[in-house]
């Protein structure tokens, strides 16, 4: 099997966030960082060191952090909050809803350790519902980049976007295959591989799995189109519809619950404009558990092999 | 600039604000008159005496004092004060809580009402917001202050104490927080629902300087607010525990939780308005 993308190193997406934030610190004096006692995990240490006056340690008090960030926008600051995805969303949903989204505040909620790949800490920390919660909020932009370079580029891009953003990334080291000099366009799907039999729409850590799945399927004579949907809201409906019309079959892949995830957003678009046979690679209404990230992805049906299996089933229909 | 009205003028404005509150709530038969009436002197003092304000309204609030209302349900007193201060036309008060209005049941920014910088209503969030705005003022090198009002029942929300801890740790000394200490919440007296015990000692233990006042008496309230201002810039956040009577200014509403969220009927409105002089023109 030969994947169509090469990479020289595996690196975590959260480090892409840390690098992007540091660069923003140097280029945009209005950017400030807030962290709820997870500076190391969020890779915010370099920003803190270089810009101590623009970094705010909040302690283990996420609700307060969201309110502070909302307040800091008044007067022109662009706050980037950092904590685990679970504590960035579920724990503070009402604070985000009222003080950030409904109030239209320019807060960037940056969330690491999303999904099963958080690993050994287990289900209490493995949030798989955050995309759903965040995409339901009016005014909110939801982004889930796929590798280090894309996460760094997305971090830099959202500073120039006026309005609340949820930026979701993760813990494990994964292939870094997108270009280092890319320009990140919010809401613009990225065509990775052209194909004609089936479309895979993947987000976050599942993008690399989709690339591997394409290689396996190609050997079986199946032509797969792989599109990276890094922005779940606003969704690039045009790109999704064009690909669905071309291939006639669509699979979505995400490290998230089936309920409320990317797949449902895609299904909404297709149901409305161009009903297309679909299947979904996502967690099927269950919590996660402790384990090694790769083992968990296999157990919960989120690996390249599962994408291959679902594509083959869909093509037989 | 601060518009320093005399105490006699402040009393006249307060009487009109109370009339506005009652008429707004009566017209739509919903809203929260009790806390609004209890905080009328406070809002009047802030907007017509204490705060350094800029009109027309600008969301970024640069170069002026800011005010945040955390207990958003007392929106009627804020709306009336803002209108009477010139943020928007007084006649717009008639739209309160009606469909297509900028005067939402709880304050919001969505409809672009001048004077409002954040939505509030879900309790416990305003102090955090105020502290964030205060830190931005410091980063911007501004010396103006940030005011925030919370309810006493609201002190039961955990986020308030997260913010309390944060303010002292980060030495946020350009914020003046006030608690409307009326001792009442929806289900009854605080002492029965959830006793705050020694609230002053709690805030002091969290590292705040605490002052007190009678919030329904300008002769107590104004000196307290002046003192609070003089305490700023000294490395500690300032808490103003303001004792008020819920429903103040209307004899049958005063001192009870029963008028927390109930509108007066026609007869009750007439009775209440009879106790309050129309000093400025009714809208």
The beta-carbon neighbor of A74 closest among B59, B128, B159 is B59
pLDDT for A12-71, tens place per residue?
999 999 999 999 999 999 999 999 999 999 999 999 999 999 999 999 999 999 999 999
Q: Are residues A19 and A164 part of one domain? A: yes
CA–CA dist A229, A199 (Å, integer): 12
Measured in angstroms, the CA of B136 and the nearest CA of chain A are apart by 5
For residue A225, is it within any domain?
Answer: yes
Coil, strand or helix: which one is A118? helix
Q: Are residues A197 and A305 in the same domain?
A: yes
- Chain A residues lying within 8 Å of B134, measured CB to CB: 71
Nearest to B179 by CA among B205, B145, B156: B156
- Residue A183 in domain: no
Q: Which of B132, B134, B160 to mutate to test binding with chain A, by most A CBs within 10 Å of its CB?
A: B132
Tell me, yes or no, whether A148 and A246 share the same domain: no
User: How many CB atoms within 10 Å of residue B244?
Assistant: 27
Query: Where residue B1 falls among pLDDT bands split at 50, 70, 90?
Result: low
DSSP annotation of A177: -
Residue B80: enclosing H or E segment and its boundaries?
A: helix B75-85
Q: Are B203 and B164 in contact (CB under 8 A)?
A: yes
Q: Chain B residues with CB-CB distance to A under 8 A?
A: 59-62, 66, 68, 108-110, 117-122, 124-137, 139-140, 142, 158-159, 162-163, 165-166, 169-170
Considering only CB atoms, B131 lies closest to which of A71, A95, A103, namely A71
Give the Cα separation of A249 and A247 in Å (integer).
6
Three-state secondary-structure class, residue A184: coil
| DSSP secondary structure, A183-237, as one string | PP-TT--EEEE--SSEEEEE-TTHHHHHHHHHHHHHHTT--EEEEE--EEES--H
pLDDT tens-digit profile of B196-242? Answer: 999 999 999 999 999 999 999 999 999 999 999 999 999 999 999 99
For A178-211, write each residue's pLDDT tens digit. Answer: 999 999 999 999 999 999 999 999 999 999 999 9
Q: Are residues A264 and A168 in the same domain?
A: no
Q: Do A98 and B162 touch (CB under 8 A)?
A: no
CATH of residue A136 = 3.40.50.970
Q: What percentage of residues in chain A have a pLDDT greater than 90?
A: 99
pLDDT digits (tens, 9 = 90+) for A216-258: 999 999 999 999 999 999 999 999 999 999 999 999 999 999 9
- DSSP symbol at B49: I
| Contact at CB, A71 and B68, closer than 8 angstroms | yes
Domain co-membership, A261 together with A131 = no
Question: What confidence tier does B257 reach under pLDDT thresholds 50, 70, 90?
Answer: confident
Complex-level ipTM beyond the 0.95 threshold? yes
For B7-273, which CATH superfamily applies? Thiamin diphosphate (ThDP)-binding fold, Pyr/PP domains (3.40.50.970)
- Regarding whether A158 and A99 lie in a shared domain, the answer is yes
- Pairing type for strands A190-193 and A224-228 reads antiparallel
């Amino acid at each position: 099997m030969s994947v169509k993308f090469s990479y020289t190193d595996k690196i975590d997406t959260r480090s892409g966030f840390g690098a992007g934030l540091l660069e923003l610190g140097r280029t945009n004096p209005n950017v400030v960082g807030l962290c709820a006692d997870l500076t190391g995990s969020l890779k915010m240490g370099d920003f803190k060191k270089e810009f101590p006056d623009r970094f705010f340690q909040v302690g283990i008090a996420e609700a307060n952090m969201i309110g502070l960030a909302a307040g800091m926008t008044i007067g022109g600051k662009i706050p980037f909050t950092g904590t685990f995805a679970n504590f960035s969303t579920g724990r503070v949903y009402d604070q985000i809803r009222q003080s950030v989204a409904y109030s239209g505040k320019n807060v960037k909620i940056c969330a690491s350790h999303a999904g099963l790949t958080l690993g050994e800490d287990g289900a209490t920390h493995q949030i798989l519902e955050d995309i759903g919660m965040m995409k339901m909020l009016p005014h909110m932009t939801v982004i889930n980049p796929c590798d280090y370079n894309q996460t760094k580029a997305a971090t830099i891009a959202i500073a120039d976007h006026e309005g609340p953003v949820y930026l979701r990334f993760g813990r494990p080291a994964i292939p870094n295959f997108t270009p280092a000099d890319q320009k990140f366009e919010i809401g613009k799907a990225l065509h990775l591989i052209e194909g004609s039999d089936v479309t895979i729409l993947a987000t976050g850590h599942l993008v690399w799995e989709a690339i591997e799945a394409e290689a396996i399927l190609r050997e079986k004579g199946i032509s797969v189109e792989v599109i990276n949907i890094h922005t779940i809201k606003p969704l690039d409906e045009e790109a999704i519809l064009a690909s669905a019309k071309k291939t006639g079959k669509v699979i979505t892949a995400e490290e998230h619950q089936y309920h409320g995830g990317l797949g449902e957003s895609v299904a909404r678009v297709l149901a409305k404009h161009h009903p297309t046979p679909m299947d979904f690679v996502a967690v099927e209404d269950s919590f996660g558990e402790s384990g090694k990230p790769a083992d968990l992805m296999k157990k919960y049906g989120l690996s390249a092999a599962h994408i291959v299996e679902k594509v083959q089933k869909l093509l037989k229909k | 600039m601060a518009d320093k009205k005399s105490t006699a003028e402040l009393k006249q404005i307060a009487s009109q604000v109370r009339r506005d509150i009652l008429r707004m709530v009566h017209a739509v038969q919903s809203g929260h008159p009790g806390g609004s009436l209890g905080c009328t002197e406070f809002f009047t003092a802030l907007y017509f005496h204490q705060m350094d304000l800029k009109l027309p309204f600008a969301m970024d609030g640069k170069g002026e004092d800011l005010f945040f209302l955390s207990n958003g349900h007392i929106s009627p007193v804020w709306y009336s004060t803002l209108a009477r201060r010139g943020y928007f036309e007084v006649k717009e008060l008639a739209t309160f809580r009606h469909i297509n209005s900028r005067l939402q049941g709880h304050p919001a920014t969505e409809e672009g009402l001048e004077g409002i910088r954040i939505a509030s209503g879900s309790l416990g969030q305003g102090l955090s917001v105020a502290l964030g705005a205060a830190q931005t003022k410091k980063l911007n090198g501004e010396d103006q202050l940030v005011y925030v009002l919370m309810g006493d029942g609201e002190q039961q929300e955990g986020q308030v104490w997260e913010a309390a801890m944060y303010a002292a740790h980060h030495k946020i000394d350009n914020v003046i927080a006030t608690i409307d200490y009326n001792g009442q919440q929806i289900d009854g007296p605080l002492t029965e629902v959830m006793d705050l015990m020694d609230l002053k000692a709690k805030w002091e233990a969290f590292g705040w300087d605490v002052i007190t006042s009678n919030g329904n008496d300008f002769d107590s309230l104004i000196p307290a607010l002046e003192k609070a201002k003089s305490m700023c810039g000294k490395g500690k956040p300032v808490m103003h525990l303001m004792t008020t009577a819920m429903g103040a200014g209307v004899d049958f509403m005063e001192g009870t939780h029963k008028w927390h969220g109930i509108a007066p009927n026609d007869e009750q409105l007439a009775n209440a308005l009879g106790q309050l002089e129309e000093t400025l023109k009714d809208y």
